[in-house]
Amino acid sequence: MIRARGGRNIRREQQVRFSFKDYILDAGRRELRRGSALLSMEQQVFDLLEFLVRNRDRVVRKDDLLAAVWGGRIVSESTLASRINAARRIIGDTGEQQRLIRTIIGKGIRFVGEVHEQQYQSPARPVVPRLSMVVLPFAHFSDDRELEYFADSITDDLTTDLSQITGGFVIARNTAFTYKSKPIDVKTIGRELGVRYVIEGSARRAGGLLRLNVQLTDAESGAHLWVDRFDTDPVDLAQTQSEITGRLARTINFKLVEAECLRIEREKTLDPEPHDLLIHGWAMLSRPISAATRREALRIFRAGATDRQGFGRRQDRSSVCLNL
C-alpha cells in the first residue's frame, strides 16, 4: 500500500487471471471475457464459477459452495442447480456434455477444463474504507414545504445516527447536500466521495398517509442491497421522524455489516485487519445460531481481540450473545 497526495491510501494488489478454452476470467476485475467480448452474468454465478476454477484440483461439495457463494446461508437445491446451469451456459457447457463443469454423483462438482493462471499487478486505486457511506438528500415530489423539511430532516438525522456505527465512515451533511435535486448515478457518487454504499430515499403523501421509500445501494456495482417502504400517520411528524430514523439506522447497520461480511469472504484475505474480523464476527451472529456458528464466531472474535483494545471489549459482549 502507498499513500497518495492529499493523504488518501492507494493500494496495488496482485491479481490473477484464469484462461480456459477461449475464455478469460479476471478475478480482480470480476470479469469474464470470450475473446474481446465482455460477458454479463449474475454476481452469484461469477462467484460460483471463480470458486470452481480456483479449486479445480478437487471435487467441491455443496457445503463449500454455500460457504463461498452464499456466505453459509441455506439455499434450495433448485437455486443451486440454476446457478450451476447458468455458469455452464455462459462458458458453452451443458449438463449433458459436462466438458468443463462435471457433476460427480454423490460427491459434488469439479471444474475439469485445462486452466492457465497468470498473476498481474492491478493499477493503483484508492482504498475505500469499509462501512463507508453517504446519505443523499431524500427527494420529495411536491411543492409542500413541510414535506421538504421532513425529507431534509430525515437525511440529517439518519446521517447522524449512522455516524455512530463502530468503524463507520459517513460523508458530512453539507457535502451530501451538494447532490440535492441532481440526477443520481451511484457509481459516480461512490468514486467522487470514496464510499462503498449510498443511502437514498423519497418522501410523499399517499392518501392520508406519509410514505417513505428507502434503498441501500452498493456504489461499486450499482446493485440494490435493500429496499423498504414506510407508511405512517403524518399527524405528529416530529415523533414519526424519530421513530423512522431509529428504525432505518438499525436496519441499515445490519445490512451494511452483512454486505461487508460477504465482501470479506469473497476477498479471502490471508491477513485480515482486526476490524474486518469484527465485521465478520458480527455477521456470523446474525445468521441462524448453531453450534458451528457459535464456534466460528468465537474463533473470529478471538483472532482479532488481541490486536485492539476496543475489539477486545466488543468481543466480550459478543461472547455473552453466544452464551459462551
SS3 22: coil
Phi, psi of 148 (to 5 degrees): -65, -40
Q: What percent of the chain has pLDDT over 90?
A: 34
Please, what is the angle between helix 291-305 and helix 274-286, to 10°?
A: 160
Domain range 132-260, CATH class? alpha beta
Residues 216, 250 contacting (CB under 8 angstroms): no
CA distance 173 to 122: 33
Q: What percent of the chain has pLDDT over 70?
A: 73
Domain residue spans of the chain: 2-121, 132-260, 269-321
Q: In CATH terms, are 2-121 and 132-260 the same topology?
A: no
Residues 28, 137 contacting (CB under 8 angstroms): no
Cell readout for 199 is 443511502
Please name every residue paired with 125 in a beta bridge, in sequence order, or none if there are none: 11
CA distance 311 to 314: 5
CA distance 85 to 204: 43
Candidate CATH numbers 3.50.50.60, 3.40.50.300, 3.30.710.10, 1.10.10.10; the one for domain 2-121: 1.10.10.10
Question: What's CA 26's distance to the chain center, in Å?
Answer: 19
89-92: long-range contacts (C-beta < 8 A, 24 or more apart)? 90/32, 90/39, 90/41, 90/45, 90/49, 91/20, 91/21, 91/23, 91/32, 91/49, 92/21
- Characterize the bridge pairing of strands 169-170 and 132-135: parallel
Phi-psi region of 38 (alpha: psi -120 to 50; beta: other; left: phi over 0): beta
Which amino acid, 199?
A: I
Rg (CA), the chain: 22
Whether the model clears a pTM of 0.75, i.e. scores above it, the answer is: no
Report pLDDT digits (tens) over 238-252.
677 788 888 888 888
Residues 138, 173 contacting (CB under 8 angstroms): no
Mean pLDDT, consecutive 10-residue stretches, the chain (324 aa), reads: 38 77 90 91 91 95 88 85 95 94 94 92 66 91 84 91 83 92 84 90 85 90 87 74 84 80 60 53 56 59 49 37 36
